[in-house]
Structure formats: structure tokens, C-alpha cells
Amino acid sequence: MPNMKMVELGENRSVIRDLFEYGLKRKKEVGAERVYDFSLGNPSIPAPQKVNETLISLIEHTESTALHGYSSAPGDPAVRKAVAESINRRFKRTQTADDIYMTCGAAASLTISLHALLCEGEEVIIFSPFFPEYKVFVEKAGGVVRTVGAREKDFGPDLDAFKSAVNAKTRAVIINSPNNPSGAVVTSEDLRAISEFLKEKQKIFGAPIYILSDEPYRELVYGGVEVPYVMNFYENTLVCYSYSKSLSLPGERIGYIALCHEAQEREKVFAAICGAGRALGYVCAPVLFQKMLLSCLEEKTDLSAYEQNKNLLYRALCDMGYTCVKPEGAFYLFIKAPGGDDAAFCEQAKKHDLLIVPSASFGLPGYMRIAYCVSLQTIQNALPAFRELAKEYNL
Amino acid sequence: MPNMKMVELGENRSVIRDLFEYGLKRKKEVGAERVYDFSLGNPSIPAPQKVNETLISLIEHTESTALHGYSSAPGDPAVRKAVAESINRRFKRTQTADDIYMTCGAAASLTISLHALLCEGEEVIIFSPFFPEYKVFVEKAGGVVRTVGAREKDFGPDLDAFKSAVNAKTRAVIINSPNNPSGAVVTSEDLRAISEFLKEKQKIFGAPIYILSDEPYRELVYGGVEVPYVMNFYENTLVCYSYSKSLSLPGERIGYIALCHEAQEREKVFAAICGAGRALGYVCAPVLFQKMLLSCLEEKTDLSAYEQNKNLLYRALCDMGYTCVKPEGAFYLFIKAPGGDDAAFCEQAKKHDLLIVPSASFGLPGYMRIAYCVSLQTIQNALPAFRELAKEYNL
């Protein structure tokens, strides 16, 4: 007799988490080096040296109650100011500390934003392939998900489909660039088209439509690709950021919401963010990690390992006959499921202790996602299994 | 056009948080030592030495991705096991790791539990005086709050009122002992009466009623008072715990939900907890602080400072003519508002830069709460202001 929707969400864990837990179990059974776990976006690159040095220095030199005490709910004022200034420096914006709300990571940034913005029954547009939890988050906030497909050639948004999806109930659009799972980056051209169309529609409907820009992979791009900053195209933007990937701290839960300073009724929207954070039980973001950011905001993990992984895996799989989307960012390779049935292929892969995620749960069946944020060794060890699978499927 | 309920919750911050923010501002204006801020339950005692030592040792000796990577959603298995064993050792229970869900502190423990248990329109009983956020948390989870008063003599629950409040829609009862704001501890006798009554009602209604035991102050008791363990009285219990006070880490957001191992349909309820945590965006509790617990589970802050504060303040205020509830636990003194109007008195106190919380928001007007988790110096400095107020009110 608990809430049965919640029971269902707990029992049917996300496919990704499920596979990850299976991997942990399986590693215990056959040894960690024999399981090729490409399921979870858990960074394999250490946090920058400076992060751990800063944590130790804070612990050693800050008075305990000042160090570990509550911060204001939206975050430590100095940290919020530093985040705003960093955004301004990098993206030529005019953000202030008052536009920044520190969170427990990207998932919290998204749930807080959605609960802040949505009323029962309002619609949120997401582009497939999409991070499956979007649906869970939107529905918990009382919203309804409307999905729009991708162009097959480059996995950019299908603009015509997008335009017919927008209606008077549309309250938000989630953009995730670089994309999980496809690795695609939304171009300036596409972003301009989306923004211009939304601006028109806002006028017609007389109500704001927000873009939630989910950017945990912003810093993870390869070959000089640029990720346009959504606020530079559209005022009613909330950036949902996380340091999980850029500083390799996914378990520590630290990120922020940046509300565009020029958003309509900015103060009301920011108050709604504060209200939603409060009502969901997010008292403040973990303070040690907030304070760490003051010294490490623009630190970066060494991406060369991801790039090396990507190059090795991409070339090897193409050589074996797999069809891969060329990834521009994030640490995922998105490949066509041989045989066309992603679930069947991934089950078959599991028999080789190769853990990859079928794409149906990303809203686009027929593909699979390989998270290559693993050791180079794991990729090298996994190649024979990929080769055997290729043979089994006559590639 | 964001969600107006959330705007309202953001604009009308909790009275406590509002006063705290006012205090921060005021300290900048007139100097920290001239503002007597008794608003917030922000521990003034340092974390045990062992906590910071353990944090540093973990950072220095754990490989970065193992240290900062995601844990399983319900928490690190070793940590969950250690928490279960600690509960078993201290309270003679039979908890297993599978009954423990690590959270971002007590507020998260409560919101996750409420979203896990409640369906739209179901009722939650809370005893006044109560932590004001209960109402926010329950309503956000779709529930309806039903309040039951306290006995004036000892601030225990009014059992007759409780019995008439329980009905077929009652899904949960929140018990907070030691109580914020009164400092009262629920006795075994009262707990037995509540439990026996709920057991009968569960049978009659054919549906479980859960007790949520909100216990952030469990470790903060004075004069040998014992805080009975709710699971020892009632099976359908969820303990919502936080290390904020016991380890003086309120800003770090670390706590847990312990579902009684003997709860009806334990696995379904636990799945609902996992589902709610997922849907609200709580990916996992901060992992560095989870891992710290392995070495510090039963560490305690040195309570003697709180006891000294309480004794000084209690005696001084009684001598001045104030009427105080004798506190058994937590770090709050609950006193009758001279003149009867708590809001008016607290406004008057503010003119002396004395920040204390009027009790109306705790569901029991006519009192005020003094959080004495401050330095002894602050209390000593504040006494003249209390004395002047006493004069102004002819005590």
C-alpha cells in the first residue's frame, strides 16, 4: 500500500542502473577484469589534482562549523558569484550571483527546474534519443512528455517535427548537448531555428516557454567542436549544469541552475526554483564541494584518455562492420544494433559479459549505447567479444 | 508563469530561514558580535576530530574514481551494512543492509519517504509544535496535514486528540523526538499508546499506517533521558535520520532512511523509497561523506557545550521571569511569549538584534524558539537584551 507508481519506479530501475548493478554482481562472480561494463556514465578519469588538494586544504584550514555548516538555500554567496563570473567570462553573459542556484548535481537541477516551472498537465518537449530519466522527472513534476525525433544523418533535432509538437500547453523544451546517448552537439543553426520559432510561439500564446539546457557534458568535446551557449540565443533559458563529468565527481552531487539574467519575470522564476528546491527537500548543495568550486571552477579533467578510448573503439568497431554515429562530445558511442533488435543484441552481448545499453529506453530503438568512460585496457579486452558478436551477426 | 505554488514557497521562505538570512545581513551592518542570532539549528560544536581525519585519509588514500564515483542509488553497500549493524547493536534490532537507504540528510529522508508512501489526498498526522517544513513536504507529496496538539504540562502528544484524528485516509504519522522546537522527548508510555492504537486501526481499515520517526536530534539529550526506538514498538516504521547534528555536518547533507525489517510488504515499501528517490532526482547520497561514515558511525560531538548553554540560558531566563519548557533534548529552548503574541514579541526582540523564532509557524502560537546552538559568548552577550525585553514587558 505504498504509492504504486513509486514502487514501479523502484522495481523497474532504469535499464542503465540495472545493467550497472548486474555488472557489479557479475564482477564478483567472475572477476572485475572479465566483465566489460560499458553501462554507466561513471567517469574513469581522476578528478583534477587541484580538487583533492583544495578539499584537504579546506578541511585543514577552515573552522569546522564554518566549513560544514548550512549555506543559504540557493548556495554560498561567494560560490554563486564565482559561478556567475565564470559564465560571463566564458560566454560573454551578464549573469549575477542572484541568477545562480547551487544543486546536488544535474538530476537535481532538472527536477527542481521542472517542479518550479510546470503546472499539472503542461507539456515538455524532449528530443530522442534522450536520457531516459527525463520522462521520470517530467511526469513526477506533473508534466507530460512529448518526444521529437532526430535527423538520421547527424542526430540533430528534426525541426519540422519540433515545430508541429509545440502547442499552447508547451511549457518547456529540454536540450541536451553534447547528447547522451548519441554524442551529437546541437549546432548554432539548429539552436537559432528552435529559438526563433519559440519566440514567435511565446508571443502567440502569451506565455513563456522555457529551454532547459542540460549540460553535464559541455566540457567533453573532441576535435575542436564548439557547444553554443543557449542563453546567447534565447532569454527564457535555465542551464542545468553538473560538475560530475567536468571534474569527475559524479558521486559527490554538485552542480547548479543558471537562470538567464534576461529571462522574463526573472525574480518570480528564481523564487519558484527556490520554492521547488525547498519543497523537494534539497536544503542546500553539499557545502564542502560548494567551497571547493571557488578554487576549481575552471579546472578540467584530462580528456585525452576519453579521446584515446573513443578513437580506438570507433575505429575498431567500424572495421568490424558496426555502424557508428561519429561522436562529437560526451563519452558515449551510439551504434546501430546489428540485426535491428537492440534488446536482443544487448542480451546476446551480455553472454560475452559485454554490458551495453539497448537504445529503446532512449526513445529510439535499433541502436545501443557504449559508455567508453572506462580504462583503455577494458576496451582492449572487450574487442574480441565485439568481434565474436560481429561474427555471430554476420557483419 | 512558473508554478505559482512554488513561487510562493520561494518568496515566503520559512520564517526560520528568513530570520537567518536577515541575521547574516544585519551582522554585516553592525558586526557579528552585536547580533544575537538564535534562529537556526546550525550546530556550533565542531565535527568530531575523527570526521575530518577520516575525510583527509580517504582523499589521500583512495583512488579518485573509486572515491568520487557514483554509489548504488540506495547507497554504498558497505555503508548500508554498517548502518544496519550499528542500529542492531544500539537498539537490539534485526536490520539488514537492504533496509537502509542513504540520503542527503533528514529533509531528503522525509520527502523521499512521503513521496514513497502517499497517494493524492491521503492524510499525515503531525503533532504540534512541529517543524514547519513538514507541511511543505507533505503537501508537495500530495498529502494533507492533520495536526494534533500537545499536552501543555510536558509537551507530550495529546492522545485523545490523536485518536480522533486517525481515520481511513490516515497513511502516516510523523513523530519527532527529541522535538524541534519544544525539546520534549516522547516517552515509552506515549509511544506504546500510539502504537497499540495504530495497530488496531490498521486491522480495522485493512491498510498500513506508517510512523515516520524524524530523529535528527536523537543523540542530543541531557540528564540521562532515553529516547525510545520506535521500531521496538511498531513494525511499520521508517526512521528518518541525519548526521547533521550528531556529527555537526548540517551543510554536507548526509543521513538515511531505515525501514523496519519487520514492516509489512517490506520489499514493496523499500522499492517505493528507491522509486521516490529516483523520481525526485536524488541520484545517490554524497559518496565522500557516505564513506566517512564507515569510520565515524558512532562518533559523537561533544555535547557539553550545548548543555552548558542550555543551563545558563534556562536559569537566566527563568530568573528574569520568562516561562520556559524544560528541555530534555535537541538544542532549542521553547518559552512562552510575554504578552501572549509571539510575532509581536519576536519583532520587539529584533529591535535589540535578538533573533528568535515566533512559534505560530510551529503550529502553536504564543511561544518562541531559541536555538541555543551558539557560542556561550553569544548567550552571555544576549542576556542584557533579554533583560531589557523582560522589563519592557513588565515580567
pLDDT in tens, B279-331: 999 999 999 999 999 999 989 888 899 999 999 999 999 999 999 988 899 99
Q: Domain check: are B254 and B232 in the same one?
A: yes
How far is Cα B20 from Cα A266, in angstroms, rounded to an integer?
Answer: 24
Does the distance separating the beta carbons of B137 and A275 come in below 8 Å?
Answer: no
CA distances from B156 to A26, B200, B222, B322, B325 (A): 52, 21, 17, 21, 12
CA dihedral B210, B215, B219, B225 (to 10 degrees): -60
Q: Domain check: are A263 and A316 in the same one?
A: no
ipTM: 0.95
Categorize the per-residue pLDDT at B357 as very low, low, confident or very high, splitting at 50, 70 and 90: very high
Q: Domain check: are A14 and A71 in the same one?
A: no
Give residues 180 to 209 of B whose Cβ lies within 8 Å of A: 207-208
The answer to whether residues A310 and A372 touch, using CB atoms and an 8 Å cutoff, is yes
**Of A258, A279, A296, which marks where a domain is finished?**
A296
Q: How far is B273 from chain A (nearest CA, A)?
A: 7
Chain B: residue whose CA lies nearest to A7? B272
Main-chain phi, psi angles of A311, to 5 degrees: -60, -45
Q: Domain check: are A78 and A15 in the same one?
A: no
Chain B: residue whose CA lies nearest to A139? B279
- CATH number for the domain spanning A359: value is 3.90.1150.10
Residues of B within 8 A of A118 (CB-CB) are 3
The answer to whether residues B257 and B113 touch, using CB atoms and an 8 Å cutoff, is yes
Main-chain phi, psi angles of B348, to 5 degrees: -65, -40
Please list the pLDDT of chain A residue by residue as tens digits (395 residues): 899 999 999 998 778 888 988 998 999 999 988 999 999 888 889 999 999 999 999 999 999 999 999 999 999 999 999 999 999 999 999 999 999 999 999 999 999 999 999 999 999 999 999 999 999 999 999 999 999 999 988 999 999 999 999 999 999 999 999 999 999 999 999 999 999 999 999 999 999 999 999 999 999 999 889 999 999 999 999 999 999 999 999 999 999 999 999 999 999 999 999 999 999 999 999 999 999 999 999 898 888 999 999 999 999 999 999 999 888 999 999 999 999 999 999 999 999 999 999 999 999 999 999 999 999 999 999 999 999 999 999 98
Interface test with B, best of A12, A63, A241, A283 (most B CBs within 10 A): A283
The answer to whether residues A328 and A178 touch, using CB atoms and an 8 Å cutoff, is yes
What kind and span of H or E run contains A11? helix A4-11
The answer to whether residues B14 and B132 touch, using CB atoms and an 8 Å cutoff, is yes
- Which of A111, A253, A273 is closest, CB to CB, to B280? A111
- Which of A46, A60, A272 is closest, CB to CB, to B3? A272
Overall average pLDDT of the B89-116 stretch: 98
Does the distance separating the beta carbons of B69 and A276 come in below 8 Å?
Answer: no
Sequence-separated (6 or more) residues with CB below 8 Å from residue A257: A100, A101, A103, A109, A112, A113, A238, A239, A240, A241, A273
Q: How far is A193 from chain B (nearest CA, A)?
A: 24
Which domain covers residue B27, as residue numbers?
4-48+302-392
Query: What DSSP assignment string belongs to A224-241?
Result: T-----GGGT-SSEEEEE
pLDDT higher than 90, residue B12: no
A288 CB near a chain B CB, below 8 Å? yes
Residues of B within 8 A of A286 (CB-CB) are 104, 251-253, 286, 289
- CATH number for the domain spanning A285: value is 3.40.640.10
**Of B296, B319, B353, which marks where a domain is finished?**
B296
Query: What DSSP assignment string belongs to A179-209?
Result: -TTT-----HHHHHHHHHHHHHHHHHHTS--
A32 CB near a chain B CB, below 8 Å? no
**Of A245, A264, A296, which marks where a domain is finished?**
A296
The answer to whether residues A115 and A141 touch, using CB atoms and an 8 Å cutoff, is yes
For the segment B233-257, what is each residue's pLDDT rounded down to a tens digit?
999 999 999 999 999 999 999 999 9
Q: What is the pLDDT of residue A344?
A: 96
Domains in chain A, number = 2
Q: How far is A373 from chain B (nearest CA, A)?
A: 11
How far is Cα B172 from Cα B142, in angstroms, rounded to an integer?
Answer: 13
Q: Domain check: are B42 and B155 in the same one?
A: no
Q: Domain check: are B145 and B60 in the same one?
A: yes
Q: Domain check: are B20 and B101 in the same one?
A: no
Q: Domain check: are B56 and B43 in the same one?
A: no
B2 CB near a chain A CB, below 8 Å? yes
Does the distance separating the beta carbons of B284 and A107 come in below 8 Å?
Answer: no
The answer to whether residues A38 and A268 touch, using CB atoms and an 8 Å cutoff, is no
Encoded amino acid at A284, one letter: C
CA-based nearest residue to A82, from A67, A96, A69? A96
CA-based nearest residue to B355, from B4, B23, B12, B6? B23
pLDDT higher than 80, residue B13: no
Overall average pLDDT of the B177-189 stretch: 96
Give residues 216 to 275 of A whose Cβ lies within 8 Å of B: 248-253, 265, 268-275
CB pairs under 8 A between A and B: 262
How far is Cα A115 from Cα A273, in angstroms, rounded to an integer?
Answer: 8
Q: What's the pTM?
A: 0.96
How far is Cα A160 from Cα B299, in angstroms, rounded to an integer?
Answer: 61
CA-based nearest residue to A344, from A314, A387, A380, A389? A389
CA-based nearest residue to A363, from A106, A161, A116? A161
CA-based nearest residue to A275, from B2, B271, B344, B95? B2
- Mean pLDDT computed over every residue of chain B: 95
Q: Domain check: are A243 and A321 in the same one?
A: no
Q: How far is B374 from chain A (nearest CA, A)?
A: 11
How far is Cα B17 from Cα B33, in angstroms, rounded to an integer?
Answer: 20
Q: Which three cell numbers stand for residue B353?
A: 538584534
Interface test with A, best of B53, B54, B283 (most A CBs within 10 A): B283
Q: What is the pLDDT of residue A383?
A: 97
Chain B: residue whose CA lies nearest to A14? B278
Does the distance separating the beta carbons of A275 and B280 come in below 8 Å?
Answer: no
Q: Domain check: are A71 and A189 in the same one?
A: yes
- Which of B69, B71, B248 is closest, CB to CB, to A68? B248
How far is Cα A16 from Cα B100, in angstroms, rounded to an integer?
Answer: 22
Overall average pLDDT of the B37-60 stretch: 94
Q: Which three cell numbers stand for residue B227?
A: 529516547
Q: Domain check: are B59 and B164 in the same one?
A: yes
- Which of B3, B10, B69 is closest, CB to CB, to A42? B69
Does the distance separating the beta carbons of A252 and B287 come in below 8 Å?
Answer: yes
The answer to whether residues B17 and B136 touch, using CB atoms and an 8 Å cutoff, is no
How far is Cα A217 from Cα A139, in angstroms, rounded to an integer?
Answer: 24
Q: Domain check: are A115 and A182 in the same one?
A: yes
Q: What is the pLDDT of residue A161?
A: 97
Q: What is the pLDDT of residue B254?
A: 97
- Which of B52, B272, B284 is closest, CB to CB, to A7? B272
Chain-centroid distance of CA B98 in Å reads 24
Residues of A within 8 A of B302 (CB-CB) are none
